[in-house]
Amino acid sequence: MSGALNRRGFLRVTAVAGGGFLIGLEASVKAGAYHFQPHPLILLEASGRVRLLAKNPDMGQGVKTSLPMLIAEEMDLELSQVHIEQAGADPRLGPQGAGGSRSVGSSFEPLRQAGATARAMLLTAASQRMQVPQAELRTERGEVIHEASGRRLRYGELAAAAALLPMPPADSVKPKARSEWRLLGRRQTQVDAEAFTRGSPLFCLDHQRPGQVYAMVEKAPEFGMAPLKTNVEEIRRLPGIVDAFVIDGTVDALRRHHNYLTGYCPGVAVVGRNSWAVIQARRRLKVEWARGAHAQERSEDWPAKAEALLAAPGAQVWRQDGDAPAALRGAAQVLEASYALPVLAHMTMEPMSCLAEPLPDGGLRLLTPSQFPQDIPQVLDRVLGIPAHKVQVHIPRLGGGFGRRYENDFVLEAAVIAQRLQRPVKLFYSREDDTRHDYYRPFAWYRLSAGLDAKGRISAWKEHRVEHSLRSSQTPKEAAFQFPARLLDHYLVEATVLESGLPEGPYRAPGANQRAFAVESFVDELAHAAGQDPLAFRLNLLGEDRELQRPDFSTARMKAVLRLAAEQSGWGQALRQDPGVRRARGIAGYFSYRGYAAHVVEVEISQRGELRVLSVTSAVDAGPIINRSGAEAQVHSCVIDALSSTLYQRITLQDGAVVEGSFDDVPHLRITEVPTRIDVHFIERDIAPSGLGEPPLPPVPPALCNAIFAACGKRIRSLPVRLHDLSWS
């Protein structure tokens, strides 16, 4: 075989396959040997080294491990046999976002198909080399094996021949059946685990570039305000400072056009040779700010405004089945309750950061922990006029995301500073910056009314919600189909907007993380009012097994997770009660982001109102499990995250500015407060998987609060729990 590949040969082995992925058979020459690259994420070297790229950002959900596992399974490779690297933003790779629990589900078929295609071509190459029918060959651990003769060929020995084969027709290659899986479904250690223990530079803040400077941006305490007067001339003269200047910002920066921010907020940039010089100089920065339309906004005023809107006519109707008001009037028993959820900040472990480096052609090279790196070139083109094709985006490990890094405001700020200085700039936020300039989970109020018939069944449901004005967390289309919609003949959902200047954005399990608390708590109230067991009441409400369509919802799958959580937790069995302490269980389940989850939370409450969460039993149906260790970790993460926010967290406004700054203001669960037992049980199905980073979270708050009610008789209708007296006598 010659050491070069001519143009005709290259074109002959290049093709496009389905699933939104460009699969190019690129044969590259290195040290005189061909490498086999049947897909941009797969590279088999002649040495036998297999390199797999993880295409989506990993912010703790484990996709840097699970996505390459899909390829490795189909290629019959152990994970220990491959070298996994993080891909950069690349339009050839299809969707690269990390949000909505879509990373694994959207890649499940395309990546398995890519791996199966690579394996099929290696089998063809081996068949030709051994001069035996392909049907007599099998693969195992990176080798092609001919059982009859005992001959074996390592994949590396077949790389050159496979690189010159034509692409097999897409319909001729079938991924394995689930019963044939050897790797998927097993426990795998995260590929970055060893690097974590060594303190290797995985995160943006760890990286350096020659000539790099550091930058912070002072932004107004009130959102959207512009600087009128500053002492930047004085700041520029301070030791270690390179520059200080006003960032003008853009109009309407806090809003989004489709998936893209329309701009970035005004502020004052401080740039220095090291981070300490920048922090010290910023403390001496003085800024006089213009006042905006929401300068007097206070969170303490929101409840009264929300109550007034809930009582006012003219709400927007999102769904109307039958005649709920008339059915309520005719019900044997009517219950009404209001639920309030606070604003929450994301509080990612790693504050926002971005390393921006100007390129000679006028473009930018970015290293940034963005949840949607594929959007960044278009954002910079739209807002700053930098052509998208001149923007390179590299993806480090993300130190948490939860929806905060869905927005790329910090990337725009870094790009503006790098353009001005024409040198690499590492922008970083302080913890207080991160908390006070977030895109927050919005506040929400729900007023729920339901009628019960003489047999204790729900005969009518009315729901009125008051939502944030800047960017509504849900659309009528989405809300119109959520549980218990389509299960009741008389069902009404209304919504009203409450004006606010608070920037709003997606927060882990957007929409569901709010509505589940209200709905599942109210269902529990209805069960107690009807004198029924809360589990039995839910199962009766779900009714017979049905597969509702558009959007899909399976009553059978929802009932299955409720039953499994109840069974594994000992639901219905008496708990030990000691003097001065009450113990009880609460249950809740919810369907969101294509996953079904239910939890039973067990608590104990002392007579003085001291609460301990003893255990959480979780049941989840999200399709097949890819990495069992990672899947369990995601459920644990949802439980602990939800317990933290439910028990302790809220963001408040005073004169248009966020009051809270760091973890002392926004507490998280201490290790001594984590339940001693979080049991996770999966129901696996032979379907495409949904994600696990979000569906288990929404049912946790109502399950906890339902357990609190069962223990001390006090119904929690507003969060956080710490604001309530749980004492009993």
Q: How confident is the model at residue 277 (pLDDT cuts 50, 70, 90)?
A: very high
Reported pTM: 0.93
Distance CA(123)–CA(74), nearest Å, equals: 12
Question: Can you tell me the mean pLDDT for 478-483?
Answer: 82
How much is the pLDDT for 379?
Answer: 92
pLDDT tens-place string over residues 19-47 = 332 233 333 333 335 799 999 999 999 89
Distance CA(717)–CA(524), nearest Å, equals: 12
How much is the pLDDT for 225?
Answer: 87
How much is the pLDDT for 13?
Answer: 33
Q: What percent of the chain has pLDDT over 90?
A: 86
Which tokens hold the place of 283?
């403390």
Residue in 722, 201, 700, 706 with CA at minimum distance from that of residue 714:
706
How much is the pLDDT for 26?
Answer: 36
Are 675 and 574 a contacting pair, CB within 8 Å? no
Q: Are strands 316-321 and 491-498 parallel, antiparallel or unpaired?
A: antiparallel
The answer on pLDDT for 526 being more than 80 is yes
Distance CA(635)–CA(620), nearest Å, equals: 8
Helix locations, 510-571, DSSP H: 512-529, 534-542, 555-569
Distance CA(221)–CA(289), nearest Å, equals: 9
Question: Can you tell me the mean pLDDT for 469-478?
Answer: 57
Question: Can you tell me the mean pLDDT for 598-610?
Answer: 98
Q: How confident is the model at residue 476 (pLDDT cuts 50, 70, 90)?
A: low
pLDDT tens-place string over residues 291-336 = 888 889 999 999 999 999 999 999 999 999 999 999 999 999 999 9
Q: What percent of the chain has pLDDT over 70?
A: 93
How much is the pLDDT for 471?
Answer: 53
Q: What does the H/E/C string look like for 186-219?
A: CCCCCCCHHHHHHCCCCEHHHCCCCCCEEEEEEC
Distance CA(106)–CA(296), nearest Å, equals: 44
How much is the pLDDT for 726?
Answer: 98
pLDDT tens-place string over residues 701-726 = 999 999 999 999 999 999 999 999 99
Q: How many CA atoms lie within 13 A of 168 on its CB side?
A: 19
The pLDDT mean for the chain works out to 92
Question: Can you tell me the mean pLDDT for 115-126?
Answer: 98
How much is the pLDDT for 254?
Answer: 74
Are 251 and 297 a contacting pair, CB within 8 Å? no
